[in-house]
Amino acid sequence: MTKCPQCDRELTTISLTQGKCAIVAIESYELVKDIKWYASKIGNTFYARWWRRGQKTKYMHRLILNPNSNLETDHIDGYGLNNCICNLRPASHADSAHNSQFRKNNSSGYTSVSWDKTKQMFVARVSINKKQINLGLFETAEQAGKIAAEARKEYFGAFAPDVSRPDFSKKTNLTGSK
């Protein structure tokens, strides 16, 4: 049996469609084992969901965490199929968005960093309450990335994405795929 590297709980997988598997702690298994779950891709991330005509869509992570209806469930490691209870936390929509992964069109390799064609430099910026805060222009993506990471930690606290975090599936040998 594989153990969670964050909390040492025993983990198991739940088979999904599209050749995917969701990761759950053994103590959550009883909640989710009898439901036919589907792999659902939202943006760059897969999630386990259940849907039946005429009923509201249910997500495995919400069923396990059971947050207040006005809150979302944030996956701390950014991996939507890792539903170990230690990886889930209640969050506002804004907080959950702060912890999002790279966008598909990211070409700098750093969150909150882009190339300014007119100035021929990298720009670092963060978005807070729908307002862009410009952190400056930099000659290298690495310099801009460092400043952007510091700003995200300052502004977003625990919800700042940990860009140094290793891929959960590689750490646990649970790949999220069959």
C-alpha 22/C-alpha 143 separation (Å) is: 37
Mean pLDDT of 88-106: 78
Token pair, residue 140, equals 């290298």
**35-88 tens-digit pLDDT:** 999 999 988 889 999 988 888 899 999 999 999 989 999 999 888 999 999 999
Which residues have a Cβ under 8 Å from the Cβ of 119 and sit 6 or more positions away?
137
Q: What's the CATH fold of domain 2-97?
A: Homing Intron 3 (I-Ppo) Encoded Endonuclease; Chain A (3.90.75)
Beta bridge partners of 126: 133
Quote the tokens at residue 152.
């995200």
CATH of 102-159 among 3.30.730.10, 3.20.20.70, 1.10.20.10, 3.40.50.360: 3.30.730.10
Q: Tell me the average pLDDT across 86-112.
A: 80
Q: What is the DSSP string of the chain?
A: -EE-TTT--EEEEEE-STTBEEEEEHHHHHHHTTS--EEEEETTEEEEEE--TTS--EEHHHHHH---TT-EEEETTS-TTB--GGGEEEE-HHHHHHT----TT--SSSTTEEEETTTTEEEEEEEETTEEEEEEEESSHHHHHHHHHHHHHHHHGGGS--TTPPPHHHHHS--SB-
Q: Where are the domains of the chain?
A: 2-97, 102-159
* Residues 81, 96 contacting (CB under 8 angstroms): no
What count of other Cβ atoms lies within 10 Å of the Cβ of residue 14? 19
Q: What pairing do the DSSP bridges indicate for beta strands 121-128 and 113-116?
A: antiparallel
Q: 120-176: per-residue pLDDT in tens?
A: 999 999 888 888 999 999 999 999 989 988 998 888 888 877 654 444 444 444 555
